[in-house]
Amino acid sequence: MKKNKFPIAKSDEAWKAELDPEAYRVLRQKGTEYPHSGIYNSHFEAGNYYCKGCNNLLFESNSKFESGCGWPSFDKAIEGALMYLKDTSHGMLRTEIICANCGGHQGHVFDDGPTASKTRYCVNSASITFESKDS
């Protein structure tokens, strides 16, 4: 992948100091959490989901659905919040999603969603934070 310039760019040392080890592994090293292990997998409170690296708004709770895949799933992202990259790792062809603000790995997007959009953004809980609409 070509080095992208993001509005928020930090050294590896700065990311390590700011993020917990699991968030660093997922966001900065393109890791994946174990299925059904993330705190937002079965979370359906009204509110918004933000990039854990930079607090960029990524998803609204009304786009979240239960996919059964083991990771938080959304059928729509906030326009312009994500970048889409070709991912050929692990012998598969997938579309990786990263935060357009800091480049943090969020997960992947697939065209097998059960909603009208047919889109399933498969996101790691470790890469996002949630803010309730009641906050």
Rounded Cα distance, 67 and 130, in Å: 19
Task: Supply φ then ψ for residue 127, to 5 degrees.
Answer: -100, 0
Active site residues: 122
The widest CA-to-CA distance across the chain, in whole angstroms, is 43
Sheet containing strand 82-87, strands side by side = 64-65, 73-74, 120-123, 105-110, 94-99, 82-87
